[in-house]
Amino acid sequence: MSAEPKLTIRLRGVSKSFGDKKVLDGIDLDVATGTSMVVIGGSGSGKSVLLKCILGLIEPDEGVIEIDGIDILTAPREQRAELRARIGMLFQNGALFDSLPVWENVAFGLLARKLCTRAEARARASDILAQVGLAASVGELSPSELSGGMQKRVGLARAIAAQPEILFFDEPTTGLDPIMGAVIDGLIVDCVKRMGSTAIAITHDMASARRIGDRAAMLYKGRIVWEGLASELMQTGNEMVDQFTHGRREGPIQMELRK
């Protein structure tokens, strides 16, 4: 292996405003191939928008986003679509297709890429559902019949089904009980280690941040205020990160509450 780690994802100066509200303000971020990056930050700090920018679902106002050295903002449409197909995404709210049964949701990417026939898809879906702790019978239900946590796990199953090279998780363990949260963290780590995927995960859960992440970054007011090893999250010496990870009310981050 070369000394210089290969970069799968590279962001430079990515900015995005909605109206006159600046959500991302010059983000620089590198994620090396086969590693996972955890992004933390307050609610509304732009974490979900960041992931959607990398996916090409939101067009940033400025900046460069490269995946495997290809600038996705200037690449032709087919190439963008190809890149996007290599990314599996768990959306914050699940975003399950409510017109399809759960098993078809899970196998959707497999069927779309013709990686298996409809007949095989059902069995494949059951396998993947089992990995996220759901019984095969759940596959026959409609997404609206599931609890929030179950929907999240189905969303996760759908994201990892086609074993994509790049995985984005938007709050994978929010709404799960602690044990299931640990199981899902294990599954994510497994995906990264076993399949060699590159991952970006957003989380508010410090325990899970340390379990999932190789590296971590903190987003505040549209900027990356800290980046480092995820294992050092609890003792970074950075006041903002400290306040955030320890959940203190006093500190440099002021919540915009009315006094």
Ligand X SMILES: Nc1ncnc2c1ncn2[C@@H]1O[C@H](COP(=O)(O)OP(=O)(O)OP(=O)(O)O)[C@@H](O)[C@H]1O
Please provide the distance, in angstroms rounded to a whole number, between the alpha carbons at the two ends of the chain.
56
For residue 243, the partner it binds in Mg ion, another protein, ligand X, none, with Cβ less than 5 to 8 A by kind, is: none
For residue 44, the partner it binds in Mg ion, another protein, ligand X, none, with Cβ less than 5 to 8 A by kind, is: ligand X
Distance CA 45, CA 247 (A): 16
For residue 97, the partner it binds in Mg ion, ligand X, another protein, none, with Cβ less than 5 to 8 A by kind, is: another protein
At residue 89, φ and ψ (nearest 5 deg) are: -130, 130
Concatenating the DSSP letter of every residue in 59-120 gives --SEEEEEETTEETTTS-HHHHHHHHHTEEEE-TT----TTS-HHHHHTHHHHHTTSS-HHH
* Contact pick of 57, 61, 127, 130 for another protein (by CB under 8 A): 57
**Stretch touching ligand X by CB under 6 A, among 46-54, 80-88, 106-114, 120-128:** 46-54
* Contact pick of 18, 82, 127, 130 for ligand X (by CB under 6 A): 18
What 8-state DSSP symbol labels residue 195?
A: H
* Contact pick of 29, 38, 49, 157 for ligand X (by CB under 6 A): 49
Closest CA to 197 of 64, 90, 45: 90
Enumerate residues 72-91 that contact another protein by CB under 8 A: 81, 84-85, 87-89, 91
State the amino acid at position 83 in one-letter form.
Answer: L
* Contact pick of 8, 36, 45, 105 for ligand X (by CB under 6 A): 45
Tokens of 86: 């290599």
Q: Give the 3-state secondary structure of residue 178.
A: helix
What 8-state DSSP symbol labels residue 237?
A: -
* Contact pick of 2, 43, 99, 144 for ligand X (by CB under 6 A): 43
Per rule CB under 8 A, count of chain residues that contact another protein = 23
What 8-state DSSP symbol labels residue 162?
A: T
Q: What is the smallest separation between the CB atom of 223 and ligand X, expressed in angstroms?
A: 13
R_g over Cα of the chain: 18
Task: Decide: is 109 part of the binding site for another protein (CB under 8 A).
Answer: yes
Task: Decide: is 23 part of the binding site for ligand X (CB under 6 A).
Answer: yes
Q: Give the residues across from 167 on adjacent strands.
A: 88, 199
Residues that bind another protein (CB under 8 A): 52, 55, 57, 81, 84-85, 87-89, 91-93, 95-99, 108-109, 112-113, 158, 162
Residues that bind ligand X (CB under 6 A): 18, 23, 41, 43-49, 92
Residues that bind Mg ion (CB under 5 A): 48, 92
